[in-house]
Structure 1
Amino acid sequence: MRNRTLSDLDRVVALGGGHGLGRVMSALSSLGSCLTGIVTTTDNGGSTGRIRRAEGGIAWGDMRNCLNQLITEPSVASAMFEYRFSGNGELAGHNLGNLMLRALDHLSVRPLEAINLVRSLLKVDAQLIPMSEQPVDLVALDHEGNHVYGEVNVDQLQHMPQELMLSPTVDATVEAIEAIAQAELILIGPGSFLTSLMPLLLLPDLSTALRRSTAPVIYIDNLGRELSVAAAALSLQDKLDLMEQNIGRKAISAVITGPRNKINTTSDRMIIQEPLEASDIPYRHDRALLRLALEHALQQMK
C-alpha cells in the first residue's frame, strides 16, 4: 500500500450516513465508479420519518443527502431532486428527492434499482448502496434498562445506552457485502456516532465482512462536537473500541482527525492529525483537505 495514491485504487468503500458520508464521497468523486458508499437507513426524523410512517419502506434521507453532494452537473433534474416544499400544507418540509426515491422504490423490484435510476438521472458515477433493503429502526437499551426506539429518540439520550440494536433483524444488502469483500481501502465516518455509524456495524453480516476484509480501514473523526450528549462524552478511543467490539477484531489501522481534537489512542495506531475544517462551515470537512489527509494516510501504510 505504501506510496500508492487514491487514484491507484480500483475499489474504495466508504461507510456512513447523511452529511458525513456525502462529504467523503464528494471529496473522492473523481474516483468515479471505483468509489462505493454504503449508506445508513435507520433515519426516522424529518421528511424521511414522515414518509416512512405514511408509506413504509427504508429511510431515504441519508441516501438523498449523499446523492445531492455528488451532483456535479446542475440540471433541471438536480434542481428538482434538491427541492424542499415550504408553506403550511401537507407537503411543507418534504424534500422532493425523498419523494422521488420512494416513488421509484414503488416502481422497482428493489430499492437499489431506484437508487441506480436516480444516479443515472443525476449523472452520478459513484455507486451508492443502502445498508439494508429492508425497513429497520435503531433501538437502544438505556442506562435504566428501558428500550428507546428510533434514531431521533436515541440521539436525545443523556447517557450512553447499555446496548444498541436493530429492529427487526434484517440482512445487509448483498452488494454491500460484496463491495467490502472486494475493497482495497475502507473508510468509516465522519458522522453522528450512535445514529449514523453504529447502525451499519449492528448488521451481523456486514460486520462479519469487515472482520474478514484484509483492506486497511481508516476512521475519519468528526470535527465538531456531537449534538448527542451521550456520544459527545465519548473519547476517540471509546469510539474505536465500540466499533471494533462490533467488528470482532482490531480492524481500524488509521485515524484522520483535526488538530483541535484530543488524541488518546494507543501508539500502534496511525494518527493523521491535520487541518481539515471547511472555511465556510468549520464543523464540516473541507473536501480538498480531507482528500489530502487520506492520501497522506495511504502513503504511510505498509
Structure 2
Amino acid sequence: MTLYSQKKVVAIGGGHGLGRMLAALSDFGANATGIVTTTDNGGSTGRIRDCQGGIAWGDTRNCVNQLITEPSISSMMFEYRFKGAGELNGHNLGNLMLTALDNLSVRPLDAINLIRNMLKVDINLVPMSEHPSDLIALSVDGKLVTGETSVDEMEENLQRLDLDPEVPATKEGVIAIEEADMIILGPGSFLTSIMPPLLLSELARSIAKNTQAKLVFVENLSPEFGPAGRMSLKEKLEWCERACQGRQIDYVLGDTPHPELSEWNCITTDLASPNRDWRHDRAKLQGAIEELLK
C-alpha cells in the first residue's frame, strides 16, 4: 500500500492558496479533502450574494479550477468569465452554475459533487458551512466591520473575528477532520481564508480532539496587506491555536527560518515556484507534506 492510500489529509482555507495546496495533494485522490471558506463577499461572488443570497461560491470554484487535469468544453465553460458592458460583465459562469443548483434546492455539497464529477476532480471539496454567513471583525479601538473585503481594508489592527450569523459546520467536513492523519492550515489570506472555518465550533472542536493527526501551518511566500500583513507569524499561530481550543500546531512549514519561535517546530525548506517566487511549487509542496506524513 502506498502513502496515498494509507493516509488521509485535510486542508483548510480558501482561494488560490487552498487550490494550490489541493493540487499538491492530487495523488491522494479521495483521501484528500479541502474544507473551503464560504464567507467571501467581493467580486462576482459578492454581487451574486447581494441579489441571490446563499453561501459564497468563489473559493470553491477557484479550487475546482486548479484541480482540473483534463481540459474540456465543460472545464472551459466552468471557468468562463463574461465580458462587456451589461450586468453579466465580470461574472464567472462557474459561480452562476453553482448558484443555480443552490436555487434548485440542491444541497450545496451535492452541487459541488455534481460539478466535481462533471470535471473529473477526485479530491473532496466540502464547504465549511452550507448556510450563508459573513465575517465580522472588531478592531482594537472597538470598531465593528462586516464582510471579508471590509476586513481586508481595515486600517486598525484586530482584536477578534466572528461569524454573523453563527452557522453549523458541514458534517462531512467534521468527519473528514476526525478521520485525518494530517490537517493543514494555509497557505492563503490569514484572516479571510484560513480563520473563517476555524470560527465554526464543531470544526475547531474536531481539530482539538484529533490529537493523532499532525497539525501543520503553511506560511505564505509573499507578505499580506491590510491587518493580516501587520500580524507577526507568532500572532497568527496563537490565533489558530486559540481558535482550535488550545490544540498546538505540530509543524510550521515555510521558506524562512524563525529562530525566535522556539516553542514551534519550524521547518524551513524551498517551496517557491521557479518562475513565480510568490507562488508555491506544487511538487515541492507535495514533497514537504509527504515527508511530514512518513
Q: TM-score range by the shorter chain?
A: over 0.9
Counterpart position of 1:298: 293
1:38 touches 1:130 (CA, 8 Å); kept in 2?
A: yes
Cα deviation, residue 33, structure 1:
0.5
2:100 to 75, 100, 103: 103
Counterpart of 1:54 (choices 51, 62, 77) is: 51
The CA distance in 2 between the partners of 1:217 and 1:95, in whole Å, is: 34
- Structure 1 residue 8, shift from structure 2 partner: 5.1
Q: Which residue of 2 aligns with 1:188?
A: 185
Alignment TM-score, normalising by the size of structure 2: 0.96
What one-letter code is carried by the residue in structure 2 that aligns with 1:256? L
Displacement of 1:227 after TM fit? 2.3
The answer for unaligned runs of 5 or more in structure 2 is none
Q: Residues 181-226 of structure 1: CA distance to partner in whole angstroms, max 9, x if unpaired?
A: 1111111100100111111111111111111112111111111000
Distance (Å, rounded) in 2 between the aligned partners of 1:12 and 1:296: 13
1:218 alignment counterpart: 216
Encode CA deviations 1:263-293: one digit per residue, 9 max, x unaligned: 53124x3222111111232211000011111
Amino acid at match of 1:242: W
Tell me how far apart the structure 2 counterparts of residues 94 and 281 of structure 1 sit (CA, whole Å): 27
Q: Deviations over 1:13-52 (max 9, x none)?
A: 1100000000000011111111100000000000000000
**1:146-161 residue pairs with structure 2 within 5 A?**
146-161=143-158
Aligned to 1:100, the other structure's residue is in SS state helix
Q: Is the 8 A contact 2:68 2:121 kept in 1?
A: yes
256 and 147 in structure 1: CA distance in 2 versus 1, 3 angstrom threshold: same
Alignment match, 1:280: 275
Q: Is the 8 A contact 2:207 2:247 kept in 1?
A: no
Partner of 1:266: 262
> Are residue 242 (structure 1) and residue 239 (structure 2) matched?
yes
In structure 2, the residue matched to 1:162 is 159
Any gaps of 5 or more consecutive residues in structure 1?
A: none
The within-5 A match list for 1:56-75 is: 56-75=53-72
Contact (CA 8 Å) 1:15, 1:38: kept in 2 or not? yes
SS at match of 1:162: strand
Per the TM alignment, residue 5 of structure 1 is displaced from its structure 2 partner at its CA by 7.5
Whole-angstrom CA distance in 2 between matches of 1:46 and 1:250? 35
1:158, distance to aligned residue in structure 2 (A): 2.1
2:133 aligned with 1:141: no
Q: Distance in 1 between matches of 2:159 and 2:233?
A: 19
Secondary structure of the corresponding residue to residue 281 of structure 1: coil
**Is 1:208 paired with 2:212?**
no
Contact 2:5/2:31 (8 A) holds in 1 = no
CA distance in structure 2 between the partners assigned to 1:206 and 1:218 by the alignment: 16
The alignment of Structure 1 onto Structure 2 pairs a total of residues equal to: 293
Inter-partner Cα distance in structure 2 for 1:198 and 1:6: 29
RMSD: 1.5
SS at match of 1:141: strand
Other structure's SS at 1:252 match = coil
Alignment of 1:18-29 (within 5 A): 18-29=15-26
> What's the offset of the Cα at 1:143?
2.2
Q: Is the 8 A contact 1:21 1:37 kept in 2?
A: yes
Percent identity, aligned pairs only, is 53
Structure 1 consecutive aligned stretches of length 4 or more whose deviation exceeds 4 Å: none
Answering whether residue 127 of structure 2 is matched by residue 124 of structure 1, we say no
Among candidates 186, 190, 194, match of residue 197 of structure 1: 194
Q: Structure 2 vs 1, CA of residues 157 and 200 (structure 1 numbering), >3 Å: closer, same or farther? A: same
Q: Distance in 2 between matches of 1:19 and 1:149?
A: 23
CA 143–5 in structure 1, closer or farther in 2 if over 3 Å, else same = farther
Task: State the partner residue of 2:252.
Answer: 255
Tell me, yes or no, if the aligned pair for 1:272 and 1:293 is still in contact at 8 Å: no
CA distance in 2, matches of 1:117, 1:106: 15
Deviation at 1:244, TM superposition (A): 0.4
CA contact (8 A) 1:82 1:97 kept: yes
CA contact (8 A) 1:5 1:298 kept: no
